[in-house]
Structure 1
Amino acid sequence: MRLGVISDIHANLPALEAVLEALREEGVDEVLVLGDLVGYGPHPKQVIHKIWKEGLPAIAGAWDLRVAYPLPDTLPEGVGKETLAWTRSQLSERELAYLRSLRLSHRKAYGERRLVGFHGKPGKPEEHLDLLGPAKDFLELLSHYRADLLLLGGRHLPLARRVGAGLVADPGSVGLSLSGEPGADALILDTDTLEARFLKVPYDLGPVLFDLKAWGLPTVLERVYRTGRFPKEG
């Protein structure tokens, strides 16, 4: 089976639409969303409704939880803090309830292959694992979850590596890629062979930049969309 995996949409509707169209053209059988539907971008409501319309399975990312729950504000000053309250204000109670309903993991068997997916560390969406870290850490996770495939969203950097007989991968970010190249990231995964292939999908930045300015959101985001990098001064 060919599985499309996406993550970190971050309220960027044109990027999400472009990625879904690309995955349709690739003929994937299913699409999985590894969290962070909202946050930063100008289209939180539209992205949620697109996910609903497409009927895509999704898990909760750190930003989904920050928006959905009135948790103590621990974000440092910067772009994130500037966009958090605005994002929450754009969503209805039904949309917030949807974000609160998202689980922290996705587990599914594909034939003899077992897949488990998280945003960030298992059970801790706000933290991240270094996918280039010691192989033994990932072997332990694969063994713990009795999985062949471990998918981890949240770092905004597409990467896949074989660990023992298994595979660990981050699909990168749809709406706020930090790979150093503009465009939306997606992963196509063959669940039989564990072959991983990444897509970099171009999309129309015009509507994103227009809505960014119209809502008075941080202009530094324009540089991220154009360059695929988050400037330190942002």
Structure 2
Amino acid sequence: MTRYAIIADIHANLEAFKVVLEDIKAQNCTHVVCLGDVVGYGANPKECLDIVREMKIPCIKGNHDEMCSVDKNLEGFNPYAAEAIMWTRDQLTEDDRQWLRDLKYQRLIANFTIVHATLDLPHQWGYVFDKLMAAASFTYQNTPVCFFGHTHVPLAFIRDSVVRGGTYSKFKVEPGKKYFVNVGSIGQPRDNDPRAAYVVYDLDENTIELRRLEYDIPTAQKKILAAGLPARLAERLAYGK
């Protein structure tokens, strides 16, 4: 049995991450991989990063991972994200920051690919919300399945003769097609559903299933406010926006 838990965009939300890890065990997953943005936005960057490192979860670099690990200026980031990045930098050790700096932008895992944003320009952090944007990544996709994150919105794009796309709960991977699948976000969902999201990819059954889980949002919110982070970052968790 080979079952991969595909997680993304934890964003320092320890409450959501713990619930997902429990569900991963309950789902009898044999492997876990992470699509980046372990840190940023939330109040527990060090704790979440420690878990990923201790579990030796294969991980790729997200834009928040990148910016929290270097001292670049934050031009182009919204003020809430920028404030959280500045705060997060101070929570991480130099060893943590080096670990984040060393992450690759994309990786091959078993017979599938993982990337944080796009396959065409993975280091430029483009957002894939529609078929046109997905088509650019399909051009560079050399495996039947590629998982991505970054948008915090779970969508599956399929290329056979044309590119199709939409929301999903569970589907079968069919031969001869390519799949570019967003697994949603653990720590800050943005599809109007506040529940933590991740995907189980069963390589024996060839199925991809989206899992949604309730977690202790009030505690995560209180921690964000107690850390002096922008209230907006706490408020949005309740709405999944």
- SS of corresponding position for 1:133: helix
Measure, in 2, the Cα distance between the counterparts of 1:173 and 1:182.
Answer: 10
1:103-150 Cα shifts (integer Å, max 9, x gaps) = 1112023xxxx21111112332522233533775454222xxx21111
Q: 1:135 to 1:218 in 2, by over 3 A?
A: closer
Tell me whether 1:149 sits opposite 2:150 in the alignment. Answer: no
- SS of corresponding position for 2:128: coil
Q: Where in structure 1 do 4 or more consecutive aligned residues deviate above 3 Å?
A: 134-139
Residues matched between the structures, number: 222
Q: 1:125 to 1:28 in 2, by over 3 A?
A: farther
The match for 2:69 is 68
Tell me whether 1:205 sits opposite 2:202 in the alignment. Answer: no
Measure, in 2, the Cα distance between the counterparts of 1:178 and 1:210.
Answer: 20
Q: What letter matches 1:162 in structure 2?
A: I
Q: 1:223 to 1:157 in 2, by over 3 A?
A: same
Q: Deviation at 1:180?
A: 0.4
Tell me whether 1:133 sits opposite 2:167 in the alignment. Answer: no
Measure, in 2, the Cα distance between the counterparts of 1:137 and 1:127.
Answer: 11
Q: What letter matches 1:26 in structure 2?
A: Q
Structure 2 residue ranges without an equivalent (≥5): 161-176
The match for 1:7 is 8
Q: Deviation at 1:102?
A: 1.0
CA contact (8 A) 1:160 1:196 kept: no
For 1:93-108, what aligned pairs fall within 5 Å after superposition?
93-108=94-109
Q: Deviation at 1:190?
A: 2.2
Q: Percent identity?
A: 27
CA contact (8 A) 1:118 1:125 kept: no
CA contact (8 A) 1:61 1:125 kept: no
The match for 1:59 is 60
CA contact (8 A) 1:104 1:125 kept: no
The match for 2:189 is 177
CA contact (8 A) 1:156 1:177 kept: yes
Q: Deviation at 1:100?
A: 0.9
Q: Deviation at 1:40?
A: 0.7
Q: What letter matches 2:240 in structure 1?
A: G
Of stretches 161-170 and 62-71 in structure 1, the one that deviates more from structure 2 is 161-170
CA contact (8 A) 2:118 2:137 kept: no
Give me the TM-score of the superposition, normalised by structure 2: 0.86
Tell me whether 1:158 sits opposite 2:158 in the alignment. Answer: no
Tell me whether 1:225 sits opposite 2:214 in the alignment. Answer: no
Q: What letter matches 1:185 in structure 2?
A: A
Q: 1:128 to 1:136 in 2, by over 3 A?
A: closer
1:191-220 Cα shifts (integer Å, max 9, x gaps) = 345421101111112331221121111111
Q: 1:48 to 1:40 in 2, by over 3 A?
A: same
The match for 1:232 is none
- SS of corresponding position for 1:161: strand
Tell me whether 1:121 sits opposite 2:118 in the alignment. Answer: yes
Measure, in 1, the Cα distance between the counterparts of 2:35 and 2:134.
Answer: 22
Q: Deviation at 1:72?
A: 2.7
For 1:11-90, what aligned pairs fall within 5 Å after superposition?
11-90=12-91
Q: What letter matches 1:90 in structure 2?
A: Q
- SS of corresponding position for 1:102: coil
Q: What letter matches 1:33 in structure 2?
A: C
Measure, in 1, the Cα distance between the counterparts of 2:138 and 2:220.
Answer: 40
